[in-house]
Structure 1
Amino acid sequence: MLHDPNHIYIFDTTLRDGEQVPGCQLTTSEKIEIAQELELLGVDVIEAGFPISSPGDFQSVVELSKAVKEPIICALTRANKGDIDSAVASLKYAKRPRIHTGIGASDMHIQYKFNSTRDEILARGVEAVKYAKSFVEDVEFYAEDAGRADLAYLARMIEAVIAAGATVVNIPDTNGYCLPDEYGARIKYLKENVKNIEQAIISVHCHNDLGLATANSISGIQNGARQIECTINGIGERAGNTSLEEVAMILKVHQTLNLHSNINSKHFYHLSNKVSRMMNMPVQPNKAIVGKNAFAHSSGIHQDGFLKHRQNYEIINPEDVGIPSAEIVLTARSGRHALKHHLERLGYLIEKVNLNEVYDRFLNLADQKKEITDNDLLSLMGDGTEANYNESSIKMKTLNVIMSGDSIPEATVTLEISSQEKQATATGNGPVNATINAIESIIGKKPSLKEFNIQAMNGGSDDISRVDMLLLLDGKSYDGYGFSTDIVRASANAYLDAVNKFLS
């Protein structure tokens, strides 16, 4: 098979192996939505499902085949004609179909799963490949539990299925058993002992039972494999599969490997969140690449070094994986540099602030709380409603909202901009929306509202509400915070807080 010897094919099995996790089942429309995102991401192969397993899985493969144009669409089967017939029928609309068939290769599986012999299992594997090949050109063979299989027998099996027409040979560490050097040695053994190995692509499919899936996959490609089977967020059976975002960023960061993929890493964060939400599988905060703490700096030493030169403590730019920026988290371990960074972000002029005095008060508060919020900093600075912006900041002078019966809410806003007052009136689908529309008509910009959260500070009918907003303008994110006993005014304060940041 002719292919770029330095290209690593990314085979995504989020919609097949990933969906086998209890509680992660998706509807066909949800699968199509994720598949189209995977196409944008740049994956080479999408394993769309196991068609014989259920009518729903069969229909999902059919519809994905219609919806996706560029990636190969792959359907999983066992080594029998019924499974393969079902896969063939499900792939009839695929532009680039692949059948993924296979059978157990370890003596454990041969004896206790199939109650068979090595020769009988090998013959069944060969027969399945030949049968699949009669329908499609692209046939992938998996040697299940290859991580524990006898090496000489595994090589014999792989040579036989390639001779039967397999274009890709999958060497799964099905139970996540292998150590990286052991797994890499298996791939190297096949490269050196299977005489027709150059006629097929070697694929690695590693599970994470011992936390080694990513390491084993990388070891596999270092020893000659050229396809990695993986999932978004590393979801999958038991402890999960190889994480797509991890292996892709390893290839990107370690240029000395001289290996590359077609992955556009800027889509990772968005797609990770979408998969997490749709499959009801939260991403652990310390998850590499896409976890919420992956680019958060808490230690004072780290924060100081990061703020001086980000590469002191970051080997990946967060923007490269779709995260707007790194986060400096304020805790009792934070230093003056981090505190200064946040105060400036909130609009305070540091040359007018006694930083040492504020830092002492900050440490006293941080000893009492796990994490310091912007609201805490505002309180620390003696301001409970809005930040002390410089003289050129936009300030709200008046806000009047009219709501009567079933009529559309109307807001009139007066802003002070460079010592001049400007007023506008607007309607909206609610009082907050009307207020924001009025502000936008004055400032002449319309950023996208990405997040909007309301939180009661203490409780009670006269409680102060805190509103957090995240606005997106020209590809950059700006956060805003507002406080008031009136939710509409708190929302307006938060919106103006963000506006002042992108206009400054």
Structure 2
Amino acid sequence: MTLNTRSDFFINPTQIDTTQIYRTSRLVSTLTGIDVPPNKAIVGVNAFAHESGIHQHGVLEEKTTYEIIKPETIGLSANRLVLGKHSGRHAFKEKIKEMGYNLEDSEIEKAFKKFKDLADKKKEITEKDIEALIEEEVIAVPETFKLEYLQATSGSGVVASAVLKLNKNGVIIEEAACGEGPVDAVYKAIDRACGGNFKLIDYTIKAVTGGMDALGEVVVRVENNGKVQIGRGVSTDIIEASAKAYLSAINKIAYKPDSVKEKSIKVI
């Protein structure tokens, strides 16, 4: 990026399309389950954030004062358009295209449905929310087990418990379990319903955006017979996100690698 930024001095230094850097970083983060540090240069969420008053004033007066690199140069849209429940399909389609995603019509419909479901729960939806929804579809595996119903209870002096229903190829499986907490109870119930010996290796949780109605993202690593898979789940309900992430990993484990097909999420 230094060579590209000073192209006036370095004559045609690289043939790299820098507008793909941000999306490539997000893709690697999604596939590996490793978050990009907020303070990471160029691609960190704070790379183009300015909190100090003097910095904010400088950027408002002249962006190049503290931003020698433009956000658009790395593929980060400068348009922070906020979508909501009244946003239509056309606006949504144009937004994801602007963000660099190229989805098939069927994939757009599925993503739009998730968007509308989220819009009913969340007043404002930002690009970060949309990214999280779309990135759930980066790796496509057939859903052997699909979450149909989930109820978890916990509290002081109360044993955490969970009741859930999974759809396995059209057959509804209902299970219940108790645990050390709501997530533990949910995972034990899923283990019983799936009938497998699954081991949770790693569990991370973060808020995709700020606010009381923030979209939560859970990333897990699950092991079964020496095979480890990463699962991701997003929801405004963190228990539901945890269940989705666990099932995502289990569904990947249930299929051989040659049966996994990558969706046509491409960068423009």
* Larger CA Rg, structure 1 vs 2: 1
TM-score by structure 1 length?
Answer: 0.26
Q: Which has the higher helix share?
A: 1
Q: Which has the higher strand share?
A: 2
Kindly indicate whether structure 1 or structure 2 has the higher relative contact order, using CA contacts under 8 Å at least 6 residues apart: 2
